Structure 1
Amino acid sequence: MDAGFDVGARLRQLRLERGLSQRELAKRAKVTNSSISLIEQNSVSPSVSSLKKILDALPVSISAFFAGDEPNHPSPFYKASELTEIGDGQLSWRLVAARRPDRRMSILHERYPPGSDSGEDMLEHDGEEGGVVISGRIEITVNGEVEELSAGDAYYFDSRLPHRFRNTGDEECVIVSANTPPTFSDGGEELHHG
């Protein structure tokens, strides 16, 4: 863990924001009261698994814990290294402004390696989504309609319709997409690296 990061202070801040006593958080996380106290005092450094147990009880993702809160007046600009990875380990979906308060859309920089697939189960969620293929080719299925798109081609559809993305080619496909309302958020059920 980052030696310059104050794990204890961050945990205390998140616990107090949620109005939880050390005892209540310990009960929810199924750890001892003294564990929470010692971590908050920086007397012990928690293992990743015990920190994850505690954060799940808040609930806060590990990435959000270490990223901290977005400033009150977030910068309108994000370096590539500041995008939040929410992919599944094979697909890379990097979310712009993941912790921006009151975000009303999701913008994703998506990478699909050859042979990758958004999954056997069709995706369905509220809202609308669209995107432009930057490089490579992608097969998109929307409500039974199948189309293969290549660089410069685009899509836009109602996200409640069952849909799926598959890279059937032999080179990586890169897409920049947006959806609204913001289906992807940094915390809770998202898939995460690290």
Structure 2
Amino acid sequence: MEERIGPALREARKARGISLRALATDTGISASLLSQVENGKSQPSVSTLYALVSRLQVSLDELLGLQVGQPSQPPEPQDGDPAPVGLRGPDVVIQRAADNPALDMDNGVRWERLASFDNGLVDALLVTYRSGASSSVEGTLMRHGGFEYAYLLEGSLTLVLAFDRYELRAGDSFCFDSTRPHLYVNQGQETARGLWYVVGRNSEQDARERLADLLDRALAGTDAGPANVVEVFRRLEEQRAASDR
């Protein structure tokens, strides 16, 4: 999967009309590193990858080149097995362990994308941190949209959350607002592995798009458009309240 990441990021950047230097500036990444990532000469760290996909608004399915709706074939049924069912449908997704798309990133971190719907609401991941691995090679804290929910299956992991530090062990679970600066480090001797669910990573972008749409209609002078900025934010609050019901 690693060879797909660079070209996928480059295609997403070009599709959005963003220059390499502008993207590097927006994400705080050096232009030389971004060029190496796009050309497959270097793998991004977790923090670098999150910075890029958050700015480009790329889903994991897009990034890994997955064709939603084209699941792999189920194993051959054995005697006594129940009747086979579709692997992907409107209300069920079944993904075989051997088919987990995997991404090995810089500094000993591995992501395996777990079964999820294609609505972009949740990034479901099996995450592995080898001994000494960190979500940022430079040790800098990252931040992105959404909320992180995780359960540590094995090993130990240090979570740095803003000015706080938490030592996590197998069986511990945690969640936090991902806009808070954070960093993961495996300072133990054993591999750490856990389940991660990042919920609503793209919600901030959705809000910006709704705001832009309302402003466009206001400037166009259509009857449906808001009369002023106060009206814009009033309507956004109404939309948010309606979506929470």
TM-score interval, normalised by the smaller of the two chains: 0.5 to 0.7
Q: CA deviation at 1:178?
A: 0.6
Q: What does residue 147 of structure 1 align with?
A: 166
Q: 1:63–1:129: structure 2 CA closer, same or farther, 3 Å change rule? A: closer
Q: For 2:104 and 2:181, how far apart are their aligned partners in 1? A: 19
Alignment of 1:158 onto 2:158: no
Cα RMSD of the aligned pairs, angstroms, is 2.7
How do residues 170-189 of structure 1 correspond to structure 2 at under 5 angstroms?
Answer: 170-182=189-201
Q: What does residue 231 of structure 2 align with?
A: none
Alignment of 1:94 onto 2:112: yes
Q: Which residue identity lines up with residue 112 of structure 2 in the other structure?
A: R
Alignment of 1:131 onto 2:150: yes
Q: For 1:83 and 1:115, how far apart are their aligned partners in 2? A: 24
> Counterpart of 2:98 in 1: which secondary structure?
helix
Q: Which residue identity lines up with residue 73 of structure 1 in the other structure?
A: G
Render the CA deviation track for 1:137-168: whole Å, top value 9, x for unaligned: 00001111001110111111010000000000
Q: What TM-score, normalized by structure 1, do the two folds share? A: 0.56
Q: 1:70–1:174: structure 2 CA closer, same or farther, 3 Å change rule? A: same
Matched residue pairs, number? 124
Contact 2:161 2:182 in 1 (8 A): yes
> Counterpart of 2:189 in 1: which secondary structure?
coil
Q: What does residue 48 of structure 2 align with?
A: none
% of aligned pairs identical?
Answer: 20
Q: For 1:122 and 1:145, how far apart are their aligned partners in 2? A: 12
Contact 2:147 2:201 in 1 (8 A): no
User: What 5-or-longer segments of structure 1 have no aligned partner?
Assistant: 1-48, 50-58, 184-194
How do residues 42-121 of structure 1 correspond to structure 2 at under 5 angstroms?
Answer: 63-64=64-65, 67-71=66-70, 73=89, 76-89=93-106, 90-97=108-115, 100-119=117-136, 120-121=139-140
Q: 1:164–1:62: structure 2 CA closer, same or farther, 3 Å change rule? A: closer
Contact 2:145 2:201 in 1 (8 A): no
Q: For 1:83 and 1:125, how far apart are their aligned partners in 2? A: 24
Contact 2:149 2:198 in 1 (8 A): yes
How do residues 15-30 of structure 1 correspond to structure 2 at under 5 angstroms?
Answer: none
Q: For 1:153 and 1:177, how far apart are their aligned partners in 2? A: 12
Q: For 1:166 and 1:62, how far apart are their aligned partners in 2? A: 24
Q: For 2:113 and 2:156, how far apart are their aligned partners in 1? A: 21
Q: What TM-score, normalized by structure 2, do the two folds share? A: 0.45
- Segment drifting more, 89-98 vs 120-129: 89-98
Q: 1:63–1:161: structure 2 CA closer, same or farther, 3 Å change rule? A: closer
The structure carrying a bigger helix percent of its residues is: 2
